[in-house]
């Protein structure tokens, strides 16, 4: 049964999960299908300790609720041992070089998950580590979250073809990874932000190049109503992310009008879903009534972090020759 289960997993053994654009459309789709399978198996109380005997280090420079719990539970589900590392214990790049930390941890564990600020820190860690490194979040990308987002969309609609997702808010790590993820699976994606808060041009350019191959259209606009029309999913994030607390008050004024509310949802297609990576600030980026109306989907999306990350960890850390 284990080998049967593992046969559904894409052949990504030994690779890192640093950014979505490092993978092909087929690889992303295979990971999503494997994640859905693992979710079904968990619901049926079928155990698959595919990483039995392994250890996974989890380094948190940014604290987290969903990332910490979903990774730790997922590691246990797979029969492995999670090791939680606080900033005070590692202090990446300060107590010792990132290269030395990577090489040391690689001698102890079978994989490293890192949640931090700088994308360059994750890339350097991956460069020097001899075990897979998974990006749990940086200021540039949030690839694990978008795998859960795409998984949720696939569960609801069954396909990405002919579908559109609109993201409303800051052109931040979520916007960047959504651009890449949607482009890779061939789904149209629109990012709408206040002027001056657009996603980085180089990310938009890369997503556009990917979309030209997969059939996905990419649009960046400051017109929220035009952006949402015809959308099957409407997505938002907090206006001020972790590390931007000092900007929160100013951003409330700058982002006024870039909110998911009943008017915005009336422009989307019937039965459109709302997605939010959480935590949600009701009354700011989303109204309380829309949040509660779509709560089932939003918290299914949160649950899917667990299943998507399990699929990623198995794909990267289980040797197919030993299946």
Comparing CA positions, the residue from 5, 7, 15, 10 lying closest to residue 26 is 10
- Candidates 29, 48, 66, 115; catalytic one: 115
pLDDT at 241: 75
Q: Is residue 142 annotated as a catalytic residue, yes or no? A: yes
Give mean pLDDT, residues 239-253: 80
Give mean pLDDT, residues 25-44: 98
pLDDT at 278: 97
- Portions of the chain given CATH number 3.40.50.1370: 2-141+305-318, 144-302
Give mean pLDDT, residues 156-167: 98
- Candidates 66, 119, 145, 309; catalytic one: 145
Q: Is 41 exposed, middle or buried (0-12, 13-18, 19+ CB in 10 A)?
A: middle
Q: Does domain 2-141+305-318 fall into CATH 3.40.50.300?
A: no
Distance of CA 218 to the CA centre of its chain: 19
Q: Among the residues of the chain, which ranges form H helices?
A: 2-6, 25-43, 66-77, 87-90, 98-106, 119-128, 143-157, 173-185, 201-214, 224-228, 248-254, 262-267, 288-293, 295-317
Q: Is residue 188 annotated as a catalytic residue, yes or no? A: no
Q: Has residue 323 got a pLDDT over 80?
A: no
The proportion of the chain whose per-residue pLDDT surpasses 70, expressed as a percent, equals 98
Comparing CA positions, the residue from 45, 38, 72 lying closest to residue 57 is 72
Q: Is residue 237 annotated as a catalytic residue, yes or no? A: yes
pLDDT at 89: 87
Q: Is residue 115 annotated as a catalytic residue, yes or no? A: yes
At residue 4 the predicted structure's pLDDT band, cuts being 50, 70 and 90, is confident
pLDDT at 1: 64
pLDDT at 42: 97
Q: Is residue 277 annotated as a catalytic residue, yes or no? A: yes
Query: Could you report the per-residue pLDDT of 264-320, keeping only the tens digit for each?
Result: 999 999 999 999 999 999 999 999 999 999 999 999 999 999 999 999 999 999 999
Q: Has residue 103 got a pLDDT over 70?
A: yes
Q: Has residue 210 got a pLDDT over 80?
A: yes
- Candidates 176, 237, 307, 318; catalytic one: 237
Q: Has residue 186 got a pLDDT over 80?
A: yes
Cβ-proximal residues to 240 (8 Å cutoff; 6+ apart), any chain: 247, 248, 251
- Candidates 16, 121, 277, 309; catalytic one: 277
pLDDT at 3: 79
Q: Is residue 212 annotated as a catalytic residue, yes or no? A: no
- Candidates 142, 176, 294, 307; catalytic one: 142
Q: Tell me the CATH number of domain 144-302, given options 3.40.50.1000, 3.30.479.10, 3.30.56.10, 3.40.50.1370.
A: 3.40.50.1370
């Amino acid at each position: 049964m284990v080998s049967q289960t593992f046969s559904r997993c894409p052949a990504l053994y030994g690779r890192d999960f640093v950014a979505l654009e490092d993978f092909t459309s087929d690889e992303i789709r295979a990971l999503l299908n494997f994640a859905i399978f693992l979710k079904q198996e968990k619901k049926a109380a079928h155990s698959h300790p595919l990483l039995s005997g392994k250890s996974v280090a989890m380094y948190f420079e940014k604290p987290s609720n969903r990332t910490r719990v979903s990774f730790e539970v997922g590691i246990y589900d797979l029969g492995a041992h999670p090791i939680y590392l606080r900033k005070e214990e590692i202090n990446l790049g300060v107590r010792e070089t990132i290269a030395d930390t990577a090489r040391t941890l690689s001698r102890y564990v079978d994989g490293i998950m890192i949640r931090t600020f700088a994308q360059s820190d994750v890339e350097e860690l991956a460069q020097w580590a001899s075990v897979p490194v998974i990006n749990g979040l940086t200021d540039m990308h949030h690839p694990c979250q978008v795998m859960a987002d795409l998984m949720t969309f696939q569960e609801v609609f069954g396909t990405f073809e002919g579908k559109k997702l609109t993201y409303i808010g800051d052109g931040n790590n979520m916007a960047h990874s959504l651009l890449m993820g949607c482009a890779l699976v061939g789904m149209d994606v629109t990012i709408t932000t206040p002027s001056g808060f657009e996603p980085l041009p180089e990310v938009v350019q890369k997503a556009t190049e990917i979309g030209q191959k997969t059939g996905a259209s990419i649009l960046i606009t400051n017109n929220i109503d035009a952006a949402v029309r015809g959308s099957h999913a409407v997505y938002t994030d907090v206006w001020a992310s972790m590390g931007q607390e000092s900007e929160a008050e100013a951003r409330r004024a700058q982002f006024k009008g870039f909110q998911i509310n009943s008017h915005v949802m009336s422009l989307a297609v019937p039965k459109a879903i709302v997605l939010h990576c959480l935590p949600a600030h009701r009354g700011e980026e989303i109204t309380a009534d829309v949040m509660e109306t779509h709560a089932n989907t939003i918290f299914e999306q949160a649950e899917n972090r667990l299943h998507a990350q399990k699929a990623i960890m198995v794909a990267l850390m289980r040797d197919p020759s030993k299946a």
